[in-house]
């Protein structure tokens, strides 16, 4: 059934076991060929010997099968859309875990056609009428899933598949509801893991908001429309220039830096001016400012692009205009739900107007659990590692030096689980004292249960050790002033290290600083 690849490469290790040609999987599905393989699973064309039909067989790769979250997400794909009838959702006919291989699997309709992602690579930007056709069909399916409290959460060109009906007309199918999330009041709803593709991910997904709603999919539709019309995702330049995923997230959370038509024009695509208002509404940072339904968003897109749709559902999705008899003679100004205001007609020699968009606080990550450790007020360990890896990469490219100072409060018999509240309180006291002495201008992150790492600009080869010594002395002095913190002055260890041009990772740099702290204690 399984075949081992004779390869020492990482790709070979990841696909160390694959289903071989003509193997019988789950006693029913005869493997014909591999269609696609990814980090989570592989898709095969298979022959269903029970129904005598060709199917798409999706299995989870052995390398990821141990992750319970991935297994849960994979299993969802089988059942989450089972009660929804739509021409635009791929139907699942069988699912389970194969006893012989312990591989979870799904059996779906075998589609003939092309993903919109590959279509974009082949053709480039698509005509507005074609974009409206594809996204309109996807919106019909989304309205149905949203009505069933199901959010896709990972809409992107690769998850929209264009097939052809018997009459030759195109039919879009939404793929991969395996990352969808049922919006019911359960523990599962409150999971805050980030799921989705950054280029199309709504801000509330970046924030890890457990109550993500249908308007997250509307946000993705807004960015999908821009991608299909311009040939490239709005945030593609930022994604290429960002050294880490978290840097890209910070840019996304600040909102679009320029109107969509300006960015599209730079790529050689001219979009009508009304598209800016539509894009700003559909992809608004605030969910409540986006269209309520997917079909409403596409109906408004038709108006913005000047496209007449033949789809009756989309055509009637726009809310009716207010009656003239009910309209006040002098309507009060209403705040417009968009990021960019419509500019006045340009005058000769006039400069383009500045956006009146309300800026997003650049310290937005302070209130995000993914970034901030709520128990102590320091940045989280995950964010610390990512920030250090990013700084190390920049140091290698530009030669910029920096140092880290490592602060440790040894546990000395404390259990990280049993005594968590006491440990958190001690680290919180250290954070508060450090902020009082050094301010908040530099990055301070938690490392492990009882340590902190401070990232500081470099001022010479001896700077980090001098700063570490001075901070250590000052901290002990402050702790000794109060009876309740006097014990911390006896436990505190402080060490520092400067980034090395050959530094491999954040872990290596932190461990060197930790060893320096241990030596200083001795």
Residues 6 or more apart in contact with residue 41 via CB below 8 angstroms: 58, 59, 60, 61, 64, 74
Candidates 234, 233, 193, 235; CA nearest to 212 is 193
Q: Residue 90 and residue 449: Cα distance in Å, rounded? A: 46
Tokens of 396: 């290698």
- Distance, CA of 225 to chain centre: 19
Strand order through the sheet with 170-174: 113-115, 160-164, 170-174
User: Can you spell out the DSSP letters for 127-177?
Assistant: PHHHHHHHHHHHHHHHHHHHHTTEE-----GGGEEEEE-TTS-EEEEE--G
Residue 379 · residue 371 · CB < 8 Å: yes
Question: Per the residue annotation, which of 154, 217, 276, 408 is the catalytic one?
Answer: 154
What is the SS3 assignment for 290? coil
Tokens of 259: 């109107």
> Any catalytic annotation for residue 154?
yes
User: Can you spell out the DSSP letters for 230-249?
Assistant: HSS-TTHHHHHH-SSHHHHH
Residues 6 or more apart in contact with residue 23 via CB below 8 angstroms: 1, 30, 31
Tokens of 506: 């954040």
Instruction: Count how many Cα atoms sit within 13 Å of the Cα of residue 318 in the half-sphere of its side chain.
Output: 13
| Residues designated catalytic | 154
């Amino acid at each position: 059934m399984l075949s081992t690849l004779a390869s020492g490469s990482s790709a070979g290790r990841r696909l160390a076991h694959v289903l071989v040609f003509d193997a019988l999987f789950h006693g029913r599905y005869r493997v014909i060929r591999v269609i696609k393989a990814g980090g989570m699973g592989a898709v095969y064309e298979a022959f269903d010997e029970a129904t005598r039909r060709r199917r798409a067989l999706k299995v989870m790769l052995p390398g990821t099968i141990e992750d319970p979250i991935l297994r849960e997400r994979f299993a969802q794909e089988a059942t989450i859309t089972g009660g929804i009838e739509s021409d635009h959702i791929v139907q699942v006919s069988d699912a389970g875990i194969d006893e012989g291989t312990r591989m979870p699997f799904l059996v779906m309709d075998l589609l003939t056609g092309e993903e919109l992602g590959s279509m974009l690579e082949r053709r480039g930007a698509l005509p507005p009428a074609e974009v409206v056709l594809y996204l309109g069909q996807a919106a019909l399916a989304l309205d149905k899933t949203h009505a069933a409290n199901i959010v896709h959460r990972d809409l992107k060109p690769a998850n929209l598949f264009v097939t052809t009906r018997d009459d030759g007309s195109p039919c879009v199918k939404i793929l991969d509801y395996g990352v969808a999330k049922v919006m019911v009041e359960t523990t599962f709803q409150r999971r805050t893991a980030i799921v989705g593709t950054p280029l199309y991910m709504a801000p509330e997904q970046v924030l890890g908001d457990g109550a993500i709603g249908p308007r997250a999919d509307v946000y993705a539709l807004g960015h999908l429309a821009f991608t299909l019309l311009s040939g490239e995702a709005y945030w593609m330049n930022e994604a290429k220039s960002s050294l880490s995923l978290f840097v890209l997230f910070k840019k996304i959370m600040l909102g679009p830096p320029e109107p969509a038509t300006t960015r599209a024009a730079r790529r050689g695509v001219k979009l009508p001016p009304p598209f800016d208002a539509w894009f700003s509404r559909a992809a608004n940072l605030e969910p409540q400012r986006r269209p309520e339904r997917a079909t409403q968003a596409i109906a408004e897109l038709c108006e913005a692009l000047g496209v007449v749709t033949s789809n009756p559902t989309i055509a009637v999705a726009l809310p009716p205009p207010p009656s003239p008899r009910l309209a006040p003679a002098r309507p009060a100004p209403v705040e417009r739900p968009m990021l960019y205001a419509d500019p006045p007609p340009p005058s000769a020699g006039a400069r383009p107007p500045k956006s009146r968009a309300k800026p997003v606080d650049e310290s937005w990550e302070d209130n995000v659990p993914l970034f901030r450790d709520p128990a102590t007020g320091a940045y989280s360990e995950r964010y610390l590692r990512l920030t250090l890896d990013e700084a190390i990469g920049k140091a290698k490219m530009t030669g910029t030096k920096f140092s880290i100072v490592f602060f440790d409060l040894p546990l000395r018999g404390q259990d990280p689980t049993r005594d968590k509240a006491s440990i958190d309180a001690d680290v919180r006291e250290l954070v508060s004292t450090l902020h009082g002495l050094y301010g908040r201008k530099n990055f301070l992150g938690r490392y492990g249960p009882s340590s902190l790492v401070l990232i500081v600009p470099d001022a010479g080869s001896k700077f980090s050790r001098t700063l570490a010594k001075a901070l250590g002395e000052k901290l002990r002095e402050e702790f000794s002033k109060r009876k309740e913190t006097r014990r911390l002055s006896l436990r505190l260890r402080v060490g520092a290290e400067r980034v090395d041009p050959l530094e491999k990772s954040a872990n290596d740099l932190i461990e060197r600083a930790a060893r320096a702290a241990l030596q200083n204690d001795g």
